[in-house]
Structure 1
Amino acid sequence: MTTRNFDALFQPRSIALIGASNRPGSVGSVLARNLLDSGFHGPILTVNPHEEAIRSTLNYRTIADLPMAPDLAVIATPAPTVPGIIDELGARGCRAAVVISAGFGGSDPSGPEYKQAMLDNAAKYLMRIVGPNCIGFISPGHGMNASFVHLTPKAGDLAFVSQSGAIASSILDWAAARGIGFSHVASLGDMSDVDFGDLLDYLATDRATRAILLYVENVTNARKFMSAARIAARSKPVIVIKSGRSAAGAKAALSHTGALAGSDAVYDAAFRRAGMLRVIEMRELFEAVATLSTGIHVRGDRLTILTNGGGAGVLATDMLEELGGHLDSIKPETVAALSAGLPASWSHANPVDILGDAPGERYERALETLLTSERPDAVLVMKCPTAVADSLDGARAVVRTLADRRDVPVLTCWLGELDAAPSRALFAANRIPTYDTPDEAIRAFMHLVNYRRNQELLMQTPASTEAAPPDRETVRGIFAEVKASGRTVLTEPEAKAVLKAYGVPTVQTATVTSPAEAADKASEIGFPVVLKILSPDITHKSDVGGVQLDLTSAEMVREAAGAMLAAVAKVAPDAHITGFTVQQMIDSSGAHELILGVAQDQTFGPILLFGQGGTAAELIADRAIGLPPLNMVLAREMIGRTRVSRLLGEHRGRPATDTDAIASTLVKLSELICDFPDLAELDINPLVADENGVIALDARVVVRQEGAAGSVLAIRPYPSELEKALTLNGGRSLSLRPIRPEDEPALVRMVEASSPEDVRLRFMSTLKAFPHMMAARLSQIDYDREMAFVAIVPGAEGGEILGVSRFIADPNNDSAEFGIMVRSDQKGQGLGYRLMLEILDYARKRGIRSVWGDILTENVAMLRLAGDLGFTRKAANEDGVVQVTIDLTRVPAGDAGGAEARSA
């Protein structure tokens, strides 16, 4: 349901408090005080069957007695009464409710029953529910405090959404002491209806909100959350703190929220993929938003430190290394330039220690040299208080240096308290980030680094690939045969056949039924070989003595097979042995053993894993997790998050490993899980990688039996089923397909090949260039919320795009805004008409009821096309923009109001 009726939640015209009380210290009393004293301009109606007045305000005995239908209701009555109250309010026309009451969880035997009845009654009236079991909702800018927190926060531009009422209350107390204000504060409680995805959808476009802060214990609808988070993170900073990082923390989250807290590593991958910044401590929420709000951007993770104290420089360096950043190296010519203006005993390295007696002039000279000669990713300027150098003098020097140049981000850290206060005030007045301690300053720098990385991943354009399509029919047949036999675990040969069908190189493997046949097959393959037991009941063969390596003769193979049967019979006597596999022994000396796989997360569905492999993979635990679908950019980033990635480059005479081959394998596994939701688990361990590529030595695949629920990906993959041929009026054939991220260069070429006037009419402004961020946003769409069809020349290198039609649906999937552009030299052939028909038909299939768009009055051809398709139009506004709308429920698919296809 997403943002439906959220105006009644965020900007209600009237509020009813059900369960108001005069009893001191009660929840109903605190709610009444907060509502009546926070400055709300509309009527506040209290309901209590036993009171004449609440805090000198006329009280009503029943909901039926209310003189008007409230937009918003705040309910603080026992759980058994809430479903009936919701029904009564909905019948009166109330559109949203904040349910403070507890008692809807599993600890009360009837709790789930009350909860479902509450939701069923709300659904009848499309009423929205925040909670239950929450502390309420606050919008200081609207004078609304519908909560039982102990204070009303000041108005500001930060939105804070918390699953925990206690955390929300603590954050508000902490922020009040520091003068931090909020646009909205929402306590979600049990998230029976309104959840993180809903509020992210609303806050993404809320003009009163500059940044969004989240306290998350668990996510209930992963796909909705990811769609909303990716949209919100493109428009403003979204900073999240997640509890349950440890096993004990996850257990605590379970007992607190009644829902399992998913694997922390998976949540981390989801936040990163969405372009959000994750922090660990509550204090970091505000540190991070303060840093990001300065608008500075770092180029990379290398920092130059300028300080007057060697010890402070060491502390900053230690923290930098601990958090994954790096000290920048200083070029010899820069050292020479610094030496010309600094005392001989300066550090001659980074950190640049200019000594404790450094006056402002020395700071200015050193900082100017670093900014001019080095162009570092960022500079941290630090000052320790001394009796021989004035702190404020140094601060003024930094401000002077940065007065006419902000091309390099500069952070400051003036240590101390009394001595540093005037300097910090000066930095704040000049919008120069400043921090109290080296740790805080380094953390701020890494916030900028991590935020930049996540935003770049969100807007990165992968290179186009021409990989051969996978053999899906082979995999479909293998999975069907496995299920028909009543199994879920594939044999090793079956698993390798699945990998081979998707282009993953596998070692030559043969299946045999006896020791003698194993010896013969080994001679045919060539020595040395590897012998493995083959049994549907044995998953980890090495654990039961079911693997023998480096067998160099037929006799060794025969003896090893006999000994293996005996050993397995002792350890797993009930296992059904079907034979052996014999495979070529790969010399992996000098190669890396890696693990790649697919697993299932209870919240986010299928996940992909990469890390250091081998028999000790679980003990080493060097792994990175990503969410499918992946492309090469995301796969390389995944690889780079592991420790083993540092060994994959060229070092100590060993050539660099073919990391593109590793990344390509991850992408192929991503494609496999997107194609087959009945794939439950997959392990390739080890995947041997060296400079020549990769090869899978062993694989394990598990499928779901028929009837078991399939995987639901948190991010909807590319919908290849929508690809089709498109024939225009004159018989010309084109290809029509959804847009892909790698289409960005072709999209830019299409716009650049169009006339400036056509570009202006499409984008309603003059574009001298088509910027990357804009092109990336148009080509990297969320297929769950958006669609864009491109018409391309079949077989054209690089994908020659001739036209694009698109829509973006509202969060309720009720209406959508369309856009269309045809390359200037392709107009007049009916392409625009066909593209509009295709996008409208797809919108109708998605359940969208109406599609609208804004068209400039001088865009006569587009207005005529909209009319032919059945759009109605409003009068032009003062900017010369006409809004056109089509009701898809009244216009059948493919119908264009009876008009012939026009040239457009």
Structure 2
Amino acid sequence: MADLSSFFAPHSVAVIGASRTPGKIGYAIVDNIIKSGFAGTIVPINPREQEILGHRCYSRITEAPGPIDMAVISVPAAKAVDAVEDCARAGVKNLVIITAGFKEVGKEGLALEKQIVAICRENNITMLGPNCVGMMDTHTPLNASFAVNFPRRGDIAFISQSGAMLVAILDWSQYTGLGFSKVISLGNKAYLTESHFIDAVAADPNTRVVLCYIEDVTDGKHFLEVARRASRKKPVIILKSGTSQAGAQAASSHTGALAGSDLAYDTAFRQTGIIRAGTMAELFDLAIAFSKQPVPRGKRVAVVTNAGGPGIVTTDRIENQGLEMARFAKETVDFLRQNLPAESNIYNPVDVLGDANVDRYQIALQKTLTDPHVDSAVVLVCPTAVTDASSIARVIIDEHRKVPEKPVFAAYMGGESLAAGAKKLNDAGIPCYTFPETAIDAIKGMSHYRQILQRPASAGEPRPDNLYPDTVKQIFQKARQDNRVVLLGSEAVQVMQAYGIPCAPTELATTSDHAVELAEKMGYPLVMKIASPKILHKTDVGGVKIGLRDAVEVKKAFAEIMENVTRLLPNTEIYGIEIQKMMPRGTEIIIGMIKDVQFGPLIACGLGGIYVNLLKDVSFRLADGLTRAEIEEMLSETKAYTLLRGYRGEKPADIKTIVDMIARTACLVSDFGEISEIDINPVFAYPTGARALDVKITIA
């Protein structure tokens, strides 16, 4: 973890490119630092000025009295390298480079950016940017940016790759009253990245929830390490725009075809405990919820409403989001029956009726919130002639204070007549929305985070035994010597066997006599397949024969396969014909891997066979740190799992062996980064054991 303590709380800040002209970026930065209430030393740097906004100005940072903890650079890109070199000479350890004109504009800018990074690395300088808005810490306090607004002090950290998004949110927060602990504009992420800042703010005592807007991840492996660690400390919520490159290339395997463009990020976020927001609204709705309310202990939600229709809508949303309608204890039901009108619904949702006054809300809330079967509550208020929105808000606040460990949300479903009550709730830390779906979605996000916290921490699992990487190296070396990137089927089976993955016996025959010899050794029946890395779909060219039962059939099949292939593909290199022991049918599944550009190998499993791409019953996980518990969870997400457990009287398959095969595949692709794709389809799963039949491996 990078130590960013002096970055967020410097004792002195220099502004290189400071200006005394309003409207200039250099002026705005100095002005913002002053107005933020920064208590340290402010050092403007400008060779043409003596003083800026009441602070003595220096020609160069090397002339200023030190030490200087941070320098904010706002000079043209062509002069930025000299400015960074001056900072290195002056012993500055933290830089914020506002200046644009680097890699975002082309080769020349990229060259300048690389020079700056090299200077920073050589002199142990941390650097934010370039091409960024800056950074803010409301608790230091410090506003080292050119943003118009300095946010209220709060406990939400916001990290944004988009400067425009950041300044828009800051402006919006002034209107809504939302407070932040830290705000970071990442810019080009040339040195410090989203991972460094997620790590830092997750350890920050002033931060309760971490928000990010990102368009990509700079270092996938570092991100995974940080995300796993950070998500156990604080909820980390990310809005990711754009797509990864997993599956963007034309993939030759089933696994590649199944991998969606944004799959790798979805998988990485889920596996590391990141909560993914789908929209900006959801990002900040969740931020408010986590900032203001405790995480619920479970999924059981109570609803109190003065209108039946909204209560039904809320109930539907609860069930659709995988939450549960709380079932009240008998004592709660009896109390509500005795104290609410006979027409009221005393079960969940509790309908206090349209003519409800504040007393009915209090009766309903005081009992439902203390019910042991309730984990969270949503209060719905629709405007009627007798609705006193402010008084109801006071009751909600008072009753929540009695049970502070249970989150409470409100939906004031109206406009001006409910505005004062809604404001009272928000000011008291009870999120109040216009519609109930937003409240339920927030509870869903918080409930999901509770599940993340309840996951056992991965301490690393022992590697499977009987792994022989040297054998795999030799096979890959032979393929490279032949200028091949696709292994022959027999070679792929040897790779599987070297890592303890059971396969149907497969051998390569170069002549018909050799084929008979191998067949007699294996035993019948057999399958024969053409062996050529250029032929992906062997059946299309008459390159497969099945059910062969004696030497005569083997010789005949060998001749027919060779004739079919040479006639249709006369110039294709053929290595021979593979002889494979024909296995009894089992439950067909697929195990595969495709390489993501950011996060590395993605392991897939699901329903296999000829309909794999049609049904797309598959689940993915990152190979990095994959545990057996995660593999079992991955399997359980597929329809194939229902078949594996035994369907309509069928015996259950050996799921333990399937899990072991996936774990060994994850080890294989982790050990050999040159593997770009693996496709094992089908795998026949039996009540005892399993066998891989068709294996394709592509290497870089």
TM category (shorter chain) comes to 0.7 to 0.9
1:717-728 superposed matches below 5 A: none
Q: TM-score, structure 2 length as denominator?
A: 0.84
Single out whichever of 612-621 and 491-500 deviates more from structure 2.
612-621
Q: Give 1:202's match in structure 2, choosing from 155, 177, 200.
A: 200
Q: Give 2:612's match in structure 1, choosing from 611, 614, 617.
A: 617
Query: 2:190 aligns to what SS in structure 1?
Result: coil
1:258-407 superposed matches below 5 A: 264-294=262-292, 296-299=294-297, 301=299, 305=303, 307-317=305-315, 319-320=317-318, 324-328=321-325, 356=354, 375=373, 378-387=376-385, 405=403
Query: 2:570 aligns to what SS in structure 1?
Result: coil
User: Following TM superposition, by how much is the alpha carbon of 1:692 offset from its aligned partner in structure 2, in angstroms?
Assistant: 4.8
Alignment partner, residue 177 of structure 2: 179
Alpha-carbon distance change, 37 to 640 in structure 1, aligned in 2, over 3 angstroms: same
Alignment partner, residue 583 of structure 1: 580
Alignment partner, residue 467 of structure 2: 470
Q: Give 2:627's match in structure 1, choosing from 604, 628, 631.
A: 631
Alignment partner, residue 671 of structure 1: 667
Single out whichever of 112-121 and 376-385 deviates more from structure 2.
376-385
Alignment partner, residue 99 of structure 1: 97
Residue by residue, what CA displacement relative to the aligned partner does 1:512-562 show, whole Å, maximum 9, x if unpaired? Answer: 345676678668766665432222333443555544556678777666655
1:31-50 superposed matches below 5 A: 31-50=29-48
Task: Confirm whether residue 685 of structure 1 aligns to residue 681 of structure 2.
Answer: yes
Alpha-carbon distance change, 305 to 691 in structure 1, aligned in 2, over 3 angstroms: farther
Give percent identity, aligned residues only: 34
Alpha-carbon distance change, 93 to 600 in structure 1, aligned in 2, over 3 angstroms: same
1:86-165 superposed matches below 5 A: 86-105=84-103, 107-165=105-163
User: Following TM superposition, by how much is the alpha carbon of 1:133 offset from its aligned partner in structure 2, in angstroms?
Assistant: 0.9
Query: 2:231 aligns to what SS in structure 1?
Result: helix
2 CA distance for matches of 1:570 and 1:392?
Answer: 85
Query: 1:90 aligns to what SS in structure 2?
Result: helix
Alignment partner, residue 494 of structure 1: 491
1 CA distance for matches of 2:158 and 2:354?
Answer: 42
User: Following TM superposition, by how much is the alpha carbon of 1:132 offset from its aligned partner in structure 2, in angstroms?
Assistant: 0.9
Supply the AA of the counterpart residue of 1:666: I
Note if contact 1:612-1:623 (Cα within 8 Å) is conserved in structure 2: no
2 CA distance for matches of 1:369 and 1:529?
Answer: 71
Alignment partner, residue 596 of structure 2: 601
Alignment partner, residue 792 of structure 1: none
1 CA distance for matches of 2:670 and 2:56?
Answer: 60
User: Following TM superposition, by how much is the alpha carbon of 1:598 offset from its aligned partner in structure 2, in angstroms?
Assistant: 2.4
Residue by residue, what CA displacement relative to the aligned partner does 1:742-795 show, whole Å, maximum 9, x if unpaired? Answer: xxxxxxxxxxxxxxxxxxxxxxxxxxxxxxxxxxxxxxxxxxxxxxxxxxxxxx
User: Following TM superposition, by how much is the alpha carbon of 1:419 offset from its aligned partner in structure 2, in angstroms?
Assistant: 4.7
Supply the AA of the counterpart residue of 1:43: T
Query: 2:211 aligns to what SS in structure 1?
Result: strand
Alignment partner, residue 541 of structure 1: 538
User: Following TM superposition, by how much is the alpha carbon of 1:667 offset from its aligned partner in structure 2, in angstroms?
Assistant: 1.6
Task: Confirm whether residue 71 of structure 1 aligns to residue 69 of structure 2.
Answer: yes
1:730-809 superposed matches below 5 A: none
Query: 1:60 aligns to what SS in structure 2?
Result: coil
2 CA distance for matches of 1:348 and 1:519?
Answer: 79
Alignment partner, residue 252 of structure 2: none
The count of corresponding residues between Structure 1 and Structure 2 is: 687
Alignment partner, residue 3 of structure 1: 2
Q: Give 1:455's match in structure 2, choosing from 437, 453, 467.
A: 453
User: Following TM superposition, by how much is the alpha carbon of 1:386 offset from its aligned partner in structure 2, in angstroms?
Assistant: 3.8
Single out whichever of 573-582 and 383-392 deviates more from structure 2.
383-392
Residue by residue, what CA displacement relative to the aligned partner does 1:359-401 show, whole Å, maximum 9, x if unpaired? Answer: 6676677778877888256554434334466666766776677
Alpha-carbon distance change, 108 to 572 in structure 1, aligned in 2, over 3 angstroms: same
Alignment partner, residue 242 of structure 2: 244
Query: 1:285 aligns to what SS in structure 2?
Result: helix
Note if contact 1:73-1:97 (Cα within 8 Å) is conserved in structure 2: yes
Alpha-carbon distance change, 686 to 308 in structure 1, aligned in 2, over 3 angstroms: farther
Alpha-carbon distance change, 691 to 283 in structure 1, aligned in 2, over 3 angstroms: farther
Q: Give 1:413's match in structure 2, choosing from 398, 411, 414.
A: 411
Q: Give 2:509's match in structure 1, choosing from 502, 509, 512.
A: 512
Note if contact 2:329-2:371 (Cα within 8 Å) is conserved in structure 1: no
Note if contact 2:300-2:373 (Cα within 8 Å) is conserved in structure 1: no
Q: Which runs of 5+ in 2 are unaligned?
A: 250-259
Supply the AA of the counterpart residue of 2:2: T
Query: 1:533 aligns to what SS in structure 2?
Result: strand
Task: Confirm whether residue 17 of structure 1 aligns to residue 12 of structure 2.
Answer: no
User: Following TM superposition, by how much is the alpha carbon of 1:175 offset from its aligned partner in structure 2, in angstroms?
Assistant: 1.6
Residue by residue, what CA displacement relative to the aligned partner does 1:50-85 show, whole Å, maximum 9, x if unpaired? Answer: 344434654333445434453221111121211111
Residue by residue, what CA displacement relative to the aligned partner does 1:208-239 show, whole Å, maximum 9, x if unpaired? Answer: 32322222222222333333333332322222
Alpha-carbon distance change, 38 to 539 in structure 1, aligned in 2, over 3 angstroms: same
Supply the AA of the counterpart residue of 1:596: I
Single out whichever of 38-47 and 329-338 deviates more from structure 2.
329-338
Query: 2:445 aligns to what SS in structure 1?
Result: helix
2 CA distance for matches of 1:246 and 1:603?
Answer: 8
1 CA distance for matches of 2:493 and 2:149?
Answer: 62
User: Following TM superposition, by how much is the alpha carbon of 1:492 offset from its aligned partner in structure 2, in angstroms?
Assistant: 1.6
Alignment partner, residue 227 of structure 1: 225
Supply the AA of the counterpart residue of 2:295: H
1 CA distance for matches of 2:218 and 2:408?
Answer: 40
2 CA distance for matches of 1:557 and 1:300?
Answer: 63
Query: 1:577 aligns to what SS in structure 2?
Result: coil
1 CA distance for matches of 2:277 and 2:194?
Answer: 17
Alpha-carbon distance change, 547 to 443 in structure 1, aligned in 2, over 3 angstroms: farther
Alpha-carbon distance change, 550 to 535 in structure 1, aligned in 2, over 3 angstroms: same
Alignment partner, residue 444 of structure 1: 442
Query: 1:112 aligns to what SS in structure 2?
Result: helix
Query: 2:455 aligns to what SS in structure 1?
Result: helix
1 CA distance for matches of 2:508 and 2:531?
Answer: 8
Alignment partner, residue 699 of structure 2: 703
Query: 1:141 aligns to what SS in structure 2?
Result: coil
Query: 1:142 aligns to what SS in structure 2?
Result: coil
Residue by residue, what CA displacement relative to the aligned partner does 1:242-265 show, whole Å, maximum 9, x if unpaired? Answer: 1214889x99xxxxxxxxxx9632
User: Following TM superposition, by how much is the alpha carbon of 1:148 offset from its aligned partner in structure 2, in angstroms?
Assistant: 1.3
Query: 1:159 aligns to what SS in structure 2?
Result: strand
Alignment partner, residue 724 of structure 1: none
Q: TM-score, structure 1 length as denominator?
A: 0.67
Residue by residue, what CA displacement relative to the aligned partner does 1:782-835 show, whole Å, maximum 9, x if unpaired? Answer: xxxxxxxxxxxxxxxxxxxxxxxxxxxxxxxxxxxxxxxxxxxxxxxxxxxxxx
Supply the AA of the counterpart residue of 1:676: F
Note if contact 1:629-1:671 (Cα within 8 Å) is conserved in structure 2: no
1:531-570 superposed matches below 5 A: 531-542=528-539, 544-548=541-545, 562-569=559-566
Supply the AA of the counterpart residue of 2:451: R
Query: 2:530 aligns to what SS in structure 1?
Result: strand
Alpha-carbon distance change, 457 to 658 in structure 1, aligned in 2, over 3 angstroms: farther
Note if contact 1:360-1:396 (Cα within 8 Å) is conserved in structure 2: no
Q: Which runs of 5+ in 1 are unaligned?
A: 252-261, 705-904
